[in-house]
Structure 1
Amino acid sequence: MEKPAVANHPHAALPPAPGADRHHCLDFADTAATLPAGQSYDMLAAPDSAMRWLATHDLTTPDVQLYEVCAQRMRTLRGHVRALFAARVEGVAPPEESLRAVNQALTAVPSAPLLAWDGAQGLRRVQAHPTDQAVNHALATIAADAADLLTGPDADLLAACGSAPCDRFLLRTHGRRHWCSTRCGDRARAARAYARRNDTSE
């Protein structure tokens, strides 16, 4: 499903796409991207960069240590989330395996705060997430956000960046714009202008 992780080049990463501030799952899907001139980046390519992404989005705590198997699980779920987004954008049925993967992530951990007793505070509700299940909780949160995006009012705004070869997703913010960044928009406009010049010169 997911391509093998490529080298992580944070300096090459594009700014968050429109809508990423409302949906962590959108930023999660865009943690890997194809850039012009055969370049690409993958923020989940290694455990340390995957951990930084989780911490930046408040999906884990600094005391959690990530291993390659955890980073691989993140990359796998990302592939399934991207497949669901692509199906929604193209208006086709989503892959069954991607639906299963997101549902498995959703149900891997308790979704409701549990009832706990504390001698100092008495009965209280707590969101149980022991360190060894931190990644499960992070993936469940991302999966829930993806499910909310795909079934909520923002689903109609979901789009793929229209500036090849960029393959990021975004939410259209105004009009028909469907570029994930200013850089992609400038490149698309330049390509159109070049094509028009060629048409008139023939």
Structure 2
Amino acid sequence: MTTRARWTWLGDHLAVDFANTTIGLDGRREELIGTVGEFREWIAAEPAWLPALDGDAIDLELVLEQRDATSRLLRCAALQQPLPPGDVELVNARVRTAGVTRLLTSAPGRSRLAAGSGFASLLGVLAAATVDLLAREDLAAIAVCEAPGCGQVFHRSRRNQRWCSPGCGNRARVDRHRHRNPVAGGGLPR
């Protein structure tokens, strides 16, 4: 069984954390919540508030459908492309079904999404987080990591940031160096 160490990158916006439950680029994406148990581990590790399941069964197919819609929406936003209407409707329907609201917290400038409990509420909060992020004025801060094998969605902390973490930046620079200099990359000159 996996451990919480698997989720060390959590802590960005809830919608970003949810979209990043796959890793990799294009057709080579690794599924990180391929089982109900892995989804429960993600829920337990996620630092954002999430509704309790209250013994509700988890329909993993619905979770993955919504995660994939969230991922497509965030990636379109990062590329400044129109949002897919079907994904917009799915997310909006889940918010409406759960009756999600935004509540103030005791910390100035902070709020949290709130809903009842149960599986539908959990999906509603995850959907409302997507709406919250995509409705912000700083959409240009959403990016997709360009490092080899990553492809995670992240918030840029500076305008020209290309990688989600220093580790991905290092990996990208090493990969670029290896392709420029095959001898340094372990290959033999031809």
TM range (shorter): 0.7 to 0.9
Q: Are the equivalent residues in 2 in contact too, given 1:159–1:170 (CA < 8 A)?
A: yes
Aligned residue pair count: 170
Paired residue for 2:93?
A: 104
Distance 2:23 2:99 in 1: 32
Q: 1:15 aligns with which of 8, 11, 26?
A: 8
Distance 1:129 1:175, change over 3 A: closer
Q: What pairs up with 1:84-99 in 2 under 5 angstroms?
A: 84-99=73-88
The one-letter amino acid of 1:73's match is L
Shift of 1:88: 1.0
Distance 2:41 2:120 in 1: 16
Paired residue for 1:120?
A: none
Q: Secondary structure at the match of 1:108?
A: helix
1:79-123 deviations in Å (ceiling 9; x for gaps): 10111111111221111111111111111122359xxxxxxxxxx
Distance 1:63 1:43, change over 3 A: farther
The one-letter amino acid of 1:86's match is R
Paired residue for 1:43?
A: 32
Counterpart check, 1:129 vs 2:116: yes
Q: What pairs up with 1:23-102 in 2 under 5 angstroms?
A: 23-34=13-24, 41-57=30-46, 58-61=49-52, 63-67=54-58, 70-102=59-91
Q: Secondary structure at the match of 2:38?
A: helix
The structure number with the bigger radius of gyration is 1
Structure 2: tracts of 5 or more residues without a match: 103-113, 183-188
Counterpart check, 1:170 vs 2:154: yes
Root-mean-square deviation (CA, aligned residues, Å) is: 3.0
Structure 1: tracts of 5 or more residues without a match: 1-7, 114-126
- Relative contact order, higher structure (CA 8 A, sep 6+): 1
The one-letter amino acid of 2:166's match is T
The one-letter amino acid of 2:133's match is L
The one-letter amino acid of 1:194's match is R
TM-score (norm 1): 0.71
Paired residue for 1:4?
A: none
Paired residue for 2:108?
A: none
